[in-house]
Amino acid sequence: MSEMTDLLDTSGSPPTAPLGRQVPPLLETHAMWTDEMVAMAGIPVHDMPFVSVGGGMGSFIMADYLRVAGGVPTSGLRVLSNLDAPWQTYEYLTRVSQLPRAKRIRSDSSSRPDNLWGFPSYAWSEAMRGPTLKPLLQVLLEPVFADFYTPVLDNVLRGLEREAHRIRYWDMLVRGEVRLVRRRIGGGYFVLLWPYRREGEEAGGPDEHIAFRARDVHLAVGYPGLRFLPDMQLFRERFNDFHHVVNGYEDHEHVYHALRTRPGTVLVRGGGVVTSAVLHRLITERLRLGTQTRIVHLFRSYYDGNHGPHPWARRRGRDGFAYQGFNYPKSTWGGQVKARMRRLEGGDRARLYDQIGGTTTPYRRHWQRALREARRGGWYRALNATIAELRLDGTGVVATTQAPEGELDIKADYVIDCTGLVGDISEHRVLDDLLRNGGAGRNPLGRLDVGRDFAVRGADSPPGRLYATGAAAYGGYFPGVDTFLGLQIAAQEVTDDVAARGFGTRMSPGRSIAQWLKWVTGRQI
């Protein structure tokens, strides 16, 4: 599911703030702030060497690297977030997209966001807990004789919670809504925060802003929100209906409850891992619970054979799906693709992204068995088509579709759209402000333009630097930015860069061994 590492806006700031949360006019109108300007606005200032904005998986992994590899004390780092825990958004999105804690996610055995070294891997840990060594055997046989091993979500979340306590994550967390990140005249940055007074309660007056004055700032704010295609947006605006047409990344449990009580038709759109999970639940409930659900599945791009730019780089395709074990080829994280991407600029880089990207889903044998049974029963059919219009018709929805064979109306009780998340950084308050006032620019794919060390180009405030990792940096020199392993690689690059400028240290072999032993024994640092 694109691993859904940092998926939604975790800064908590909507584009338009309620009255009382507005940024003081003196600060809003200036692209660079002085200490005197902030003092004149009556905003308390807290000095902190390093601040991470977001508080999701990207911020957690950054904090983990700085604490473990860089030796940074908790007093030298703050994470600003509206989340109680770094996995909060991730867990919510996996649950509503039909991958609850008991299910396996789309991630590699050694991609452990709670473990810098990747050992013991998830497969090793799962096997050691018993009662079988099957996970280790699966890793040895993948992908030819077995599906790729992927970890159970519950094991991932338990590991994250354990590591968060070990590094004292909550000692570094400040809850609130980040309003702006602005360069400071004299060097470094100001991060303006609307803090929460206590659990579940927001601050109450216009003077409640606080500012963090930091040398370096890290942004890991995820995706701005859910992606609604024009036909879905128009349907909701026209009919004010949020019941019959839903996004796969929003809570839509009512659909499955309704289908257990009466026969119905569901139109599913998309071809990625969330689509596969939604289909698997619909099919499984018909097979196990006896529901009478009929499924119509729309593919915008329909694949019925292997495809790809080169004979040696082709994806498996069948029955509409494009199959690939993980988001990208494994060489993206540490091989030929990674090395090649770091050399490319502009259009050449965008073309390579186009070659290795696209919507894919893993080939899992139990999913395939369920789909084959549904096809044989005649209650699942796949079409190569796009939706031109959605409209209410009585108690259901009519989707007017455009297919190679012509226009077709499909009547369904529910439509589940699984086409993804919003990637436009201008939809995010903090990122949009950086584009307008912070010197930041866009990369060839429209996201934040970052260098090979993940520093945002044009936004330096010497001696300080502004870093961005995760979805906002997609399109840069490293493709796998919004995956577990990608966030870890980026955090390592940032940790090394700030260490070279005097904050923290590079991890030596001796320190690495000592810290790994602390990790194994669960010692708090």
Whether residue 285 is found in the same domain as residue 394: yes
pLDDT band (50, 70, 90) for residue 402: very high
In a domain, residue 290? The reply is yes
Residues 225 and 475: beta-carbon distance below 8 Å: no
Q: Which pLDDT value is given to residue 19?
A: 40
Q: Are residues 486 and 428 in the same domain?
A: yes
| Residue 437 sits in the same domain as residue 495 | yes
2 pLDDT more than 60: no
Query: What would you measure as the largest C-alpha separation in the chain, in angstroms?
Result: 73
- Tell me the residue ranges of DSSP E strands in 300-427: 307-310, 313-318, 321-323, 380-384, 386-393, 396-403, 406-412, 414-417
Select from 399, 417, 435 the last residue of a domain.
417
In a domain, 311, yes or no: no
- When comparing pLDDT for 5 and 482, which is higher? 482
Q: Tell me the β-bridge partners of 305.
A: none
How many domains, in total, are found in the chain?
A: 2
- Long-range contact set of residues 363-371: C-beta below 8 Å, sequence gap at least 24: 363/147, 363/316, 363/323, 363/325, 364/147, 364/276, 365/147, 366/280, 367/276, 367/279, 367/280, 370/279, 370/280, 370/283, 370/284, 370/287, 371/279, 371/283, 371/319
Provide the 10 A C-beta neighbour count for residue 190.
26
Each residue's pLDDT tens digit, 377-397: 999 999 999 999 999 998 899
The answer to whether residue 194 scores a pLDDT higher than 90 is: yes
CATH number of the domain at 93, please: 3.50.50.60
Alpha helices in 130-252 (DSSP H): 134-141, 153-166, 169-172, 230-239
Terminal alpha carbon distance of the chain:
32
Domain membership of residue 394 as a residue range: 230-304+361-417
Residue (of 204, 250, 222, 225) closest to 81 by Cα position: 222
- Which tens digit of pLDDT belongs to each residue from 320-349? 999 998 888 888 888 889 999 999 999 999
Same domain for 282 and 296? Answer: yes
Of 417, 438, 454, the one marking the end of a domain is: 417
Which of 303, 248, 301, 276 is CA-nearest to residue 414? 248
List Cβ neighbours of 491 (8 Å cut-off, separation of 6 or more). 58, 61, 62, 64, 65, 66, 469
Number of neighbouring beta carbons within 10 Å of residue 132: 10
Residue range 461-466: mean pLDDT, rounded: 98
Looking at the structure, tell me whether residues 218 and 244 fall in a common domain. no
Query: Residue 274 has what DSSP assignment?
Result: H
Is there a domain that residue 116 lies in?
Answer: no
Q: Is the pLDDT of residue 8 over 70?
A: no
Domain membership of residue 199 (yes or no) is: yes
**Is the Cβ–Cβ distance between 112 and 122 less than 8 Å?**
yes
Cα–Cα distance measured from residue 268 to residue 231, given in angstroms and rounded to the nearest whole number: 14
pTM of the model: 0.92
Write down the pLDDT at residue 6. 46
Query: In this structure, are 237 and 97 located in the same domain?
Result: no
Q: What is the mean pLDDT of residues 65-69?
A: 98
CA distance 308 to 179: 43
- Report, as an integer, the average pLDDT of 16-35: 79
What per-residue confidence (pLDDT) applies to 311? Answer: 64
Q: Would the CA dihedral through 455, 460, 464, 466 be positive or negative?
A: negative
Q: Are residues 375 and 491 in the same domain?
A: no
In a domain, 337, yes or no: no
Token pair 């690495």 is found at: 512
DSSP class of 219: E
Q: Does residue 9 register a pLDDT over 70?
A: no
Structure-block tokens of residue 154:
């519950």
User: Which of 228, 259, 257 lies closest to 245 in space, CA to CA?
Assistant: 228
Same domain, 236 and 379: yes
CA distance 444 to 349: 7
∠ CA 64-70-75, rounded to 5°: 75
When the pLDDT of each residue in the chain is averaged and rounded to a whole number, the result is 91
Q: Are residues 430 and 511 in the same domain?
A: yes
- Please state the φ and ψ torsions of residue 484, each to the nearest 5 degrees: -55, -55
Q: pLDDT tens digits, residue range 112-152?
A: 999 999 999 999 999 999 889 999 999 999 888 888 999 99
Q: What is the pLDDT of residue 312?
A: 61
Please count the other Cβ atoms lying within 10 Å of the Cβ belonging to residue 214. Answer: 25
Q: Please check whether residues 413 and 437 belong to one and the same domain.
A: no
Kindly state whether residue 313 falls inside one of the protein's structural domains. no
Q: Is residue 132 part of a domain?
A: no
171: tokens are 């000692």
Residue 474 — φ and ψ, nearest 5°?
Answer: -60, 135
**According to the 3-state scheme, what is the secondary structure of 12-40?**
CCCCCCCCCCCCCHHHHCCCEECHHHHHH
125 exposed, middle or buried (CB, 10 Å; 0-12, 13-18, 19+)? middle
Predicted confidence at residue 434, as pLDDT, reads 97
Domain-embedded: residue 340 = no
Lowest mean pLDDT among 70-74, 203-207, 256-260: 203-207
Among the candidates 401, 417, 433, a domain finishes at 417
Do 383 and 458 belong together in one domain? no
In this predicted structure, the answer to whether residue 1 has a pLDDT above a threshold of 50 is no
CA-to-CA dists, residue 33 to 40, 190, 267, angstroms: 11, 8, 52
Together in a domain, 208 and 162: yes
Cα–Cα distance between 384 and 405 in angstroms, integer?
Answer: 9
Residue 481 has pLDDT above 80, yes or no: yes
